[in-house]
Amino acid sequence: MNNLAKTITCVAAFLSMGGGLLCAQAKIDVEGIAKYVYPGNTPESPKSFTYLPDGESYLLLGKEGKTIERYETATGKLLETVLDVSHTRENSVASVEDFILSPDGSKLLLYTTKTPVYRHSFKADWHVFEIKRNILRPLSKQFRLQQAPLFSPDGRMVAFVADNNIHIKKIDYDSEVAVTKDGVVDKVINGIPDWTYEEEFATDCSMVWSPDNSTLCFLRYDEEKVPKFSFPLYQGYCSPSAEYALYPGAFSYKYPVAGESNSVVTLHSYDVETRKTKDIALGNLPVEYIPRIAYGGDSSERLMAVTLNRAQNRMEVFAVNPKSTVSKSVLVEESKAWLNPMAYEEIHWGKESFVITSERTGWNHLYEYSYAGQQLRQITSGDFDVTGYYGADQLGNIYFQSTAQLLDGQGDRGATSRVIQKIDRTGKKQLPITPSKGWASATFSPAMNYYVVNYSNEQTPPRHTMYNTKEKEMRVLVDNAGYAARYTSLPRKEFFTFTSDGYSLNGYMIKPAGFDASKKYPVIMWQYSGPGSQEVTDRWRMDWDYYAAAERGFVVICVDGRGTGGRGTAFRDVVYRNLGHYETIDQLAAARYAASLPFVDGSRIGIAGWSYGGYETLMAVSDPAAPFKAAVAIAPVTSWRYYDTVYAERYMLTPGENEEGYRASAPIERVDNVECSLLMMHGTADDNVHLSNTIEYVSRLQESGRVCDMLLFPNMNHSINGCDARALVYGRMVEYFVRNL
Convert the pLDDT of each residue in 270-291 to its tens digit.
999 999 999 999 988 889 999 9
Q: Which of 550, 548, 553, 609 is nearest to 731 (CA)?
A: 548
Convert the pLDDT of each residue in 499-543 to its tens digit.
999 999 999 999 999 999 999 999 999 999 999 999 999 999 999
Those residues whose C-beta lies under 8 Å from the C-beta of residue 692, and which sit 6 or more positions away, are: 231, 642
- Give me the mean pLDDT over the 246-265 stretch: 98
This prediction has a pTM of: 0.94
Convert the pLDDT of each residue in 351-374 to its tens digit.
999 999 999 999 999 999 999 999
Q: Give pLDDT, residue 25.
A: 53
Those residues whose C-beta lies under 8 Å from the C-beta of residue 613, and which sit 6 or more positions away, are: 526, 527, 528, 529, 530, 634
Mean pLDDT of the chain: 94
What is the C-alpha separation between 22 and 482, in angstroms, rounded? Answer: 45
* Alpha-carbon distance values, 615 to 202, 665, 675, 720 (Å): 22, 10, 17, 17
- Give me the mean pLDDT over the 384-408 stretch: 86
Q: Does the pLDDT value for residue 727 go beyond 70?
A: yes
Convert the pLDDT of each residue in 452-484 to its tens digit.
999 999 999 999 999 998 889 999 999 999 999
Q: Does the pLDDT value for residue 406 go beyond 70?
A: no
Give strand ranges (E) for 445-530: 450-457, 460-468, 473-478, 493-500, 503-510, 521-526
In the chain, domain spans: 10-41+495-740, 52-178, 387-483
Q: Does the pLDDT value for residue 399 go beyond 90?
A: yes
Question: Topology of 10-41+495-740 in CATH?
Answer: Rossmann fold (3.40.50)
As its CATH architecture, domain 52-178 has 7 Propeller (2.130)
Q: Give pLDDT, residue 425.
A: 85
Q: Does the pLDDT value for residue 19 go beyond 90?
A: no
CB 499 within 8 A of CB 536: no
Convert the pLDDT of each residue in 155-213 to its tens digit.
999 999 999 999 999 999 999 999 999 999 999 999 999 999 999 999 999 999 999 99
Instruction: Tell me, yes or no, if the two domains 10-41+495-740 and 52-178 fold the same way.
Output: no
Please state whether 289 falls in left (phi above 0), alpha (psi between -120 and 50) or beta.
Answer: beta
Give strand ranges (E) for 361-408: 365-370, 375-378, 386-392, 398-403
CB 601 within 8 A of CB 521: yes
What is the C-alpha separation between 207 and 218, in angstroms, rounded? Answer: 4
Q: What is the enclosing helix (H) or strand (E) of 549?
A: helix 544-552
Judged on CB neighbours under 10 Å (0-12, 13-18, 19+), 134 is: middle
Q: Does the pLDDT value for residue 59 go beyond 60?
A: yes
At residue 247, the 3 state secondary structure works out as coil
